[in-house]
Structure 1
Amino acid sequence: MTAPKAIQLDHRDNVLVALADLPAGSTVSVTGTKYSVTEAIPAKQKFAIHDFPAGAEVIMYGVIVGRVRHAIPRGGLLTTANVTHEAAGFHSRDTRAAWRPPDVARWTSRTFDGYHRSDGQVGTRNYWIVLPMVFCENRNVKALQEAFEEELGYGRPTQYRDQVRALLSELHGNGSSSQSSAGPSTATYAPVFKNIDGIKFITHQGGCGGTREDSGALCGLLAGYIHHPNVAGATVLSLGCQHAQVADMLDELKKRDPALSKPVLVFDQQKSGKESEMLAEAIRATFQGLVEANKIERKPAPLSKLTVGLKCGGSDGFSGISANPALGYVSDMLAVLGGSTLLSEFPELCGVEQSLINRCVDDVTADRFIQLMRSYEARAKAVHSGFEMNPSPGNIRDGLLTDAMKSAGAARKGGTSPVNDVLDYPEYVRKPGLTLQCTPGNDVECVTGQVGAGATVVLFTTGLGTPTGNPIAPVIKLATNTKLAERMPDIIDIDTGPIIEGTSSIPSMADQILELIVSIASGKTHTKAEGLRQDDFIPWKRGVSL
């Protein structure tokens, strides 16, 4: 079977996407019509299916994604020089979108082995977390990390230290061997606690000195991490005088867990006196907490207990064709199975708002989405920015010329199921099915927020490559194209390039993705980001990030 060279994504589109490099003057056939390109069209880029006069609308995925600045001939390349951002407006729900659920018969009896919590949640990992209420305590968090990780068998690989040791040996004339005279540090230690996946030491730069809104959001975010089913308990370090007070964080935790069912060990430095005494007590209490957390074991759970974050980053012109629609199909499958999915990145829903509004289950849900979108756009404008500034240089270089074009492809991660709920940051997931969550598009800020809302696994598509991970939830990386998967195998978990090549369908790729989710959720497989210890955590400062 010959792979197609170009594709029309929707019958209403007036541009085609090149799936391979097209030399100037070459001809391609799409849906029975032949097109000759007037100039070289690189793979992932778009070209016109008819002559475009200045001012014409550019349509992709069936929606407006741009407006023509200067005339473009039939077969001509679209660029940022001849196309500018344009998106359709949106309004209250005016119809109810129909939905055809996928067949999930083969998945209805499947389970994963997870950690069952007393509040009914089921985790895919079992971590103890250590976190600060304010950046002033980051150094003390690091001190606890140094005390615990190596001794309990959760230390980092030492190959880079070994390399530096070898270079020092060469510098001092002790031989050119890859080993120093003492030999490399190759000792490995089995974890002391077999049922604990690790201790995660989280730091941040917030908690004081910013707006009260930001410190309040931080309290909610930290509460979400403590409440998260992948967490057995937490050690919290507080200076004492900061805006983000422990009492405020505990109030947020009560909203998520009224019973306060998990151990939360709080240490306030200004009340403790000597720093050394506070840390010694924190170590003793944390160790005892680990002993108790180790008593829980994995047990089977239905797939309805999964909460999956849907994310894209380092996107390219293939994202909306391969990986993102495959995620959308997985999202629809989980909706039928009773699981939960989170579609976030509000700046990357620009131009597709109306279709999402019409998918909302009721007017209240739709109106909340409208309010959050308009509020976010207004905040961006207030700092002299806007959604149209969202695409990065890498996005543009690889075919995503406008924010609306990027958004139309990004929204495909949410599939076609009804929108059951809308969350503001940092609220916690409340309903099964698809939820829209207000976050920025920034990779780490978004994933941090998704996990804070309860995502036990994150599906992250990328066309350019990014190592983004999370301290407590496995982040699965999906390449949009095979070249990326082959070039960066150390960060990619799944290659969805076969969709572009015509050797795999979106439903079959979705089955492959869900199989991997089950294996990872059960602890049988670990993601590349976990192997790299890619523990990224950045709270969102409202209105600053896109």
Structure 2
Amino acid sequence: MLHKILKIHPKDNVLVALTDLKKGEKVTYEGKDITLTHDVQAKHKFSESGFEKDQDIYMYGIIVGRALFPIAEGEVLTTENVAHKTAEFTGVRDFKSWTAPDVSKWADRTFMGYHREDGQVGTTNNWLVIPLVFCENRNIEIMKNAFVEELGFAKPNRYKSMVQQMGDLYTKGQKEKIANLTAETIESDEDTRIFKNIDGVKFLTHQAGCGGIRQDSEMLCALIAGYINNPNVAGATILSLGCQNAQPAILQEKLDKINPNLKKPVILLEQQKEGTEETMLTNAIQKTFLALTEADQIERKPAPLSKLTVGLECGGSDGFSGISANPSVGHASDLIVALGGKTILSEFPELCGVEQELINRCTSDESADKFVKIMRAYAASAEAVGSGFDMNPSPGNIKDGLITDAMKSAGAAKKGGTSPIVDVLDYAEYVTKPGLNLVCTPGNDVESTTAMAGSGANIILFTTGLGTPTGNPVTPVLKVSSNHKLAEKMSDIIDINTGDVISGDRSIPEMGEEILEHIIRVASGEEKAKAMTLNQDDFIPWKRGVSL
């Protein structure tokens, strides 16, 4: 039975509408009748007992805002009557022991993965082709056009077929028929890949590598090094111009730092040394093809679940994300940690307001201090350009119930479950410790997923309440819907639906277990992430500095 309202934490002084409520409607919470003063849309919040001006507003047991002026009992909370506010954090750690969930039924479970010489295990087997600088983007595209279709990695393009049909109708003088034309469905289960054990040759482009501050180019090299080292990557072809800031020597330095004994093949060609474009591309294509013949010899073999490194992401969040999808993913994270695996919580602007809780969960003072330092520096850099974390919620977030950054952050942090934080890493640092890791990234969906793959994630869980088509070139991104409506409306991009939590049909632990089972199937190649099926290969390096 669907409940109408919810109080998330006993300390809260607001209630969440689980369904649309009408002005004048009377709802009851713990024996108290509350008459609504306005219509309250599902996902939005309303006052339980009224607020005085400047009174603190609590959700998830923490401060998420303050009343700009008196708010009546039963009145809906909006951006007009509530402002962003968070509790101060001291940075002093108050660590408490953690009781891990029972994972005995997964103790002997394995997934079928690609074993690398350094002990990591991939969930996919990809070859990476990427430039060190944007000047080489065109050559990357030329290589892509040469490889993808010929090797059987291209999907049938139904929209190309649709345009061809429209062209035929127009030339035949049948323009009136175009409006009724739909994309022709072209589906084929036939695997035309030449290399059966390679999931994809991924050609990435970007707008970085030169023209900005040196630190941005160094971070780009660290990110690319992380992608090369990612267990889902068999090897890489790197194109360099020669004169750019992101030099091959810097890339090698970053690779040595992450993995000094890297055994993967890395092909690097520099255009200013190779000579003509034709010479460089011919060499790049030949060497890459021969390397693919070797990468194709790798086959899936059983691996313990402790070899999973799972990124935890949210985007297009709504008022239900922090109630259903994020806590369910958080429970899955706790299960993976209990099994000896690694999980990654990122998006530092969306941890605003929960800093002290995360500090208390750090297993060392060193990690807690690093987290405080990064958060304060990040907040200061946002303020220096006239912005701030309080401006983080998007129009879509606000429309669907997340009216302050603190409210958004309190729900977003639930993706990290309850387990201790074993390490805090800056952007492009690689995850090595089993357990929950914090990695500094922006809240921007693609910049964050790009970074988590660069930090070693071999699976990414991506919760959403509004829907977003984000994917990653080398790491499967599983979309987790917060509600039934989204899962039905955008079924082509949603992998897992946690709407049953909102309807009361499933518990958060039950959904977390289901998410883990889905991860195992995708990690084994038994099921594909929708984002991979749709070739959603999003890649945006974070540019922290200015262009020079």
Instruction: Give TM-score, length-normalised by structure 1.
Output: 0.97
The residue aligned with 1:407 is 409
Aligned-partner SS, 2:357: helix
How far apart in 2 are the matches of 1:156 and 1:63? 48
Structure 1: unaligned runs, 5 residues or longer: none
The residue aligned with 2:213 is 211
TM-superposed CA distance for 1:259, in Å, is: 1.4
Amino acid at match of 2:114: Y
Pairing of 1:64-463 with structure 2 (within 5 A):
64-173=63-172, 190-463=192-465
The residue aligned with 1:9 is 8
8 Å contact from structure 1 (residues 126, 196) kept in 2: yes
How far apart in 2 are the matches of 1:504 and 1:543? 45
TM-superposed CA distance for 1:34, in Å, is: 2.8
8 Å contact from structure 1 (residues 380, 543) kept in 2: no
Aligned-partner SS, 1:106: helix
Aligned-partner SS, 1:297: coil
TM-superposed CA distance for 1:157, in Å, is: 1.9
8 Å contact from structure 2 (residues 216, 545) kept in 1: no
Q: 1:472 aligns with which of 444, 450, 474?
A: 474
| 1:295-343 Cα deviation digits (max 9, x unpaired) | 1100000000000000000000001000000011011111110000000
| 1:14-41 Cα deviation digits (max 9, x unpaired) | 0001000111111222334332212111
The residue aligned with 1:499 is 501
How far apart in 1 are the matches of 2:93 and 2:240? 49
CA RMSD of aligned residues (A): 1.7
How far apart in 1 are the matches of 2:186 and 2:351? 49
8 Å contact from structure 2 (residues 212, 545) kept in 1: no
| Residues 543/87 of structure 1: CA separation in 2 closer, same or farther (3 Å cut) | farther
Amino acid at match of 1:448: T
Amino acid at match of 2:204: I
Aligned-partner SS, 1:348: helix
Segments of 4+ in structure 1 off by > 4 A? Answer: 174-178, 183-189
The residue aligned with 1:37 is 36
The residue aligned with 1:22 is 21
Amino acid at match of 2:79: T
| 1:131-175 Cα deviation digits (max 9, x unpaired) | 000000000000000111111100132211110100000011087
| 1:374-419 Cα deviation digits (max 9, x unpaired) | 0110111111111001000000010001000000000000001100
| Residues 406/186 of structure 1: CA separation in 2 closer, same or farther (3 Å cut) | closer
TM-superposed CA distance for 1:363, in Å, is: 0.8
How far apart in 1 are the matches of 2:241 and 2:545? 27
8 Å contact from structure 2 (residues 457, 475) kept in 1: yes
Pairing of 1:511-530 with structure 2 (within 5 A):
511-530=513-532
Amino acid at match of 2:385: V
Instruction: Give TM-score, length-normalised by structure 2.
Output: 0.96
Amino acid at match of 1:207: G
How far apart in 2 are the matches of 1:469 and 1:339? 22
How far apart in 2 are the matches of 1:33 and 1:488? 38
8 Å contact from structure 1 (residues 456, 474) kept in 2: yes
How far apart in 1 are the matches of 2:256 and 2:389? 35
Amino acid at match of 1:197: D
Amino acid at match of 1:515: E
Aligned-partner SS, 2:239: strand
TM-superposed CA distance for 1:189, in Å, is: 6.0
8 Å contact from structure 1 (residues 379, 543) kept in 2: no
The residue aligned with 1:57 is 56
8 Å contact from structure 2 (residues 93, 365) kept in 1: no
TM-superposed CA distance for 1:541, in Å, is: 1.0
Amino acid at match of 1:163: M
Aligned-partner SS, 1:214: helix
How far apart in 2 are the matches of 1:131 and 1:198? 14
How far apart in 2 are the matches of 1:36 and 1:384? 41
Aligned-partner SS, 2:195: coil
8 Å contact from structure 1 (residues 165, 184) kept in 2: no
Instruction: Kindly tell me the number of residue pairs found equivalent between the two proteins.
Output: 540
8 Å contact from structure 1 (residues 423, 436) kept in 2: yes
How far apart in 1 are the matches of 2:366 and 2:33? 47
How far apart in 2 are the matches of 1:322 and 1:92? 30
Amino acid at match of 1:253: L
8 Å contact from structure 2 (residues 330, 415) kept in 1: yes
8 Å contact from structure 1 (residues 195, 295) kept in 2: yes
How far apart in 1 are the matches of 2:371 and 2:185? 55
Aligned-partner SS, 1:434: strand
